[in-house]
Amino acid sequence: MQILGIDIGGSGVKGAPVDLINGKLATDRFRIPTPQPSKPELVAKVVAQIARHFDWNGPIGCTFPAIIRHGVIKSAANVDQDWIGVDAPALFLEHTGCPVRVLNDADAAGVAEMEFGAGRGRMGTVIMLTLGTGIGSAVFVDGVLVPNTEFGHIEVRGKDAEHRASDRIRKEEDLSWKAWAKRLNEFLNRMEFLLSPDLFIIGGGVSKKHEKFFKYLDLETEIIPAQLRNEAGIVGAAMAAKDLA
Ligand code: BGC
């Protein structure tokens, strides 16, 4: 079965039909830059453009970088504030004519990694962290997701963790890998203290450069890079919409 997965990020909206049997994209993905400002109506138009590109009229799974409770957007750390209170599935249905399921971007990436990637078969407490514009988190206990965790916003040295240790901050502050890894380590140590995880999975674009910074980390917990890379969100979004089919 194929479902259209769409990953809404701070800089791009990417989509592709996903084969749910093997978790692979059925065709090349299609990407459109995220409208700036990222107002709900403008982003919904882009979602509809992606659906049209694939001639899609079935279920759609969609990620969004925020807390999402029963479809309603509850936070807006890295997107336009107008999103707060928006019923995202209803808005996207209006624009695409398709039934849409919407979930947090890190939760989606985590779901895909647990099924088809680095977390396959891993029991206990697994924490997936996506390091990008912000820091997203997804927590799994024996393979079951605890949705909407927001560990990128725990406070480290008086700041949101994502304002010290996201990949955006690494680039903006031109931090060396070592200096950035030190900040990341502080954050991961805090996560270890709070949750006693069995495994960290590190996702986001920077995870493909893991050999540049994993060597500086000093943790008790096993840490591995994500495997699905920038496809994880699309795949996880499609998986989440399976029951709409
Ligand atoms: C948001 C999360 C999101 C993460 C990664 C954070 O700022 O609060 O909901 O998962 O960024 O995009």
The answer on pLDDT for 61 being more than 90 is yes
- Model confidence pLDDT, tens digit, residues 129-159: 999 999 999 999 999 999 999 999 999 999 9
84 CA to centre of ligand 1 in angstroms:
14
Mutate to test the pocket of ligand 1, among 13, 68, 72, 78 (most ligand atoms within 8 A of CB): 78
All CATH 3.30.420.40 domain ranges in the chain, comma separated: 2-105+232-244, 118-226
The answer on pLDDT for 229 being more than 90 is no
Counting residues of the chain whose pLDDT is more than 70, the rounded percentage is 100
- Model confidence pLDDT, tens digit, residues 156-187: 999 999 999 999 999 999 999 999 999 999 99
Residue of the CA atom closest to atom 11 of ligand 1? 134
Is 234 strand, coil or helix? helix
The answer on pLDDT for 230 being more than 90 is no
- Model confidence pLDDT, tens digit, residues 183-226: 999 999 999 999 999 999 999 999 999 999 999 999 999 999 99
221 CA to centre of ligand 1 in angstroms:
23
SS3 content of the chain, % helix, strand, coil (to 5): 40, 25, 35
Residue 181: the pLDDT is 98
Distances (CA, A) of 197 to 46, 95, 107, 216: 38, 41, 17, 19
Partners of 135 in beta bridges: 131
Q: Where are the alpha helices (DSSP H) in the chain?
A: 40-53, 88-96, 105-116, 162-165, 167-172, 177-195, 210-213, 232-240
29 CA to centre of ligand 1 in angstroms:
22
State CA 139 to chain mean position distance.
Answer: 12
Distances (CA, A) of 235 to 25, 78, 170, 221: 7, 22, 27, 27
Asked if 5 and 15 touch (Cβ cutoff 8 Å), the reply is: yes
Kindly state the average pLDDT of the residues 61-86: 97
What is the rounded distance in angstroms from the CA atom of residue 75 to the CA atom of residue 13? Answer: 19
The answer on pLDDT for 119 being more than 90 is yes
Asked if 232 and 117 touch (Cβ cutoff 8 Å), the reply is: yes
What is the rounded distance in angstroms from the CA atom of residue 119 to the CA atom of residue 97? Answer: 34
77 lines ligand 1 (CB under 6 A): yes
CATH number of 118-226: 3.30.420.40
Of the CATH numbers 3.40.50.300, 3.30.420.40, 3.30.70.580, 3.40.50.1220, which one belongs to the domain with range 2-105+232-244?
3.30.420.40
